[in-house]
Protein backbone atom coordinates (compact mmCIF):
# COMPACT_ATOMS: atom_id res chain seq x y z
CA UNK A 1 0.00 0.00 0.00
CA UNK A 2 1.15 3.52 -0.71
CA UNK A 3 -0.30 7.00 -1.01
CA UNK A 4 -2.81 8.33 -3.53
CA UNK A 5 -3.74 11.72 -4.92
CA UNK A 6 -4.93 14.01 -2.15
CA UNK A 7 -2.71 12.40 0.52
CA UNK A 8 -0.02 15.11 0.34
CA UNK A 9 0.77 16.54 3.76
CA UNK A 10 -0.57 13.46 5.52
CA UNK A 11 1.47 11.41 7.98
CA UNK A 12 3.60 8.31 7.39
CA UNK A 13 3.36 6.57 10.74
CA UNK A 14 5.52 3.85 12.27
CA UNK A 15 4.22 1.62 15.08
CA UNK A 16 6.74 0.83 17.82
CA UNK A 17 5.26 -2.43 19.08
CA UNK A 18 7.46 -2.69 22.18
CA UNK A 19 6.20 0.72 23.39
CA UNK A 20 2.77 0.38 21.75
CA UNK A 21 3.14 3.86 20.24
CA UNK A 22 2.56 5.36 16.83
CA UNK A 23 5.40 7.67 15.77
CA UNK A 24 5.51 10.17 12.90
CA UNK A 25 8.21 8.98 10.47
CA UNK A 26 7.43 11.04 7.38
CA UNK A 27 5.14 13.52 5.71
CA UNK A 28 3.57 12.55 2.38
CA UNK A 29 4.94 14.58 -0.52
CA UNK A 30 3.83 12.90 -3.76
CA UNK A 31 3.66 9.67 -5.73
CA UNK A 32 2.64 8.18 -9.05
CA UNK A 33 -1.02 7.16 -9.09
CA UNK A 34 -2.08 5.10 -6.09
CA UNK A 35 0.93 2.98 -5.23
CA UNK A 36 1.49 1.15 -8.53
CA UNK A 37 4.15 -1.61 -8.55
CA UNK A 38 7.76 -0.42 -8.93
CA UNK A 39 6.95 3.21 -7.98
CA UNK A 40 7.60 4.39 -4.45
CA UNK A 41 5.76 7.22 -2.78
CA UNK A 42 7.90 10.21 -1.84
CA UNK A 43 7.97 11.39 1.77
CA UNK A 44 9.72 14.16 3.70
CA UNK A 45 11.66 12.82 6.69
CA UNK A 46 9.81 14.17 9.75
CA UNK A 47 12.92 14.28 11.96
CA UNK A 48 14.33 17.11 9.80
CA UNK A 49 11.44 19.26 11.05
CA UNK A 50 11.59 18.09 14.67
CA UNK A 51 12.60 21.46 16.17
CA UNK A 52 9.97 23.33 14.17
CA UNK A 53 7.24 20.77 14.97
CA UNK A 54 8.12 20.93 18.66
CA UNK A 55 8.00 24.76 18.65
CA UNK A 56 4.49 24.66 17.17
CA UNK A 57 3.04 21.63 18.96
CA UNK A 58 4.82 21.48 22.33
CA UNK A 59 2.38 23.49 24.44
CA UNK A 60 -0.65 22.29 22.49
CA UNK A 61 0.15 18.57 22.30
CA UNK A 62 -2.63 16.30 23.50
CA UNK A 63 -1.63 12.70 24.18
CA UNK A 64 -3.98 10.26 22.51
CA UNK A 65 -4.58 6.62 23.33
CA UNK A 66 -6.48 4.26 21.03
CA UNK A 67 -6.83 0.53 21.68
CA UNK A 68 -3.98 0.67 24.21
CA UNK A 69 -1.54 2.42 21.83
CA UNK A 70 -0.51 5.99 22.65
CA UNK A 71 1.05 8.98 20.93
CA UNK A 72 4.01 10.93 22.35
CA UNK A 73 6.51 13.64 21.41
CA UNK A 74 10.02 12.20 21.06
CA UNK A 75 13.23 14.15 21.64
CA UNK A 76 16.02 11.58 21.70
CA UNK A 77 18.49 11.27 18.84
CA UNK A 78 18.31 7.47 19.10
CA UNK A 79 14.56 7.49 18.45
CA UNK A 80 14.96 9.85 15.49
CA UNK A 81 17.73 7.66 14.06
CA UNK A 82 15.59 4.52 14.38
CA UNK A 83 12.74 6.36 12.62
CA UNK A 84 15.09 7.28 9.80
CA UNK A 85 16.08 3.65 9.22
CA UNK A 86 12.45 2.48 9.38
CA UNK A 87 11.57 5.20 6.88
CA UNK A 88 14.46 4.26 4.56
CA UNK A 89 13.46 0.59 4.77
CA UNK A 90 9.85 1.41 3.86
CA UNK A 91 10.99 3.28 0.78
CA UNK A 92 13.27 0.40 -0.19
CA UNK A 93 10.42 -2.11 0.13
CA UNK A 94 8.23 -0.02 -2.19
CA UNK A 95 10.86 0.33 -4.94
Tens digit of pLDDT for each residue in 29-39? 888 888 888 88
Cα–Cα distance for residue pair 3/20, rounded to 1 Å: 24
Tens digit of pLDDT for each residue in 47-64? 887 777 777 776 666 566
Has this prediction a pTM greater than 0.85?
no
Burial of 43 (0-12, 13-18, 19+ CB in 10 A): buried
Cα–Cα distance for residue pair 20/28, rounded to 1 Å: 23
Q: Which domains does the chain have, with CATH numbers?
A: 11-94 (2.40.10)
Amino acid sequence: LDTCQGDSGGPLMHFESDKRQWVLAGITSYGVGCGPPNYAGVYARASVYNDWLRSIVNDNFIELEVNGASSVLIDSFRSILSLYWSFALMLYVFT
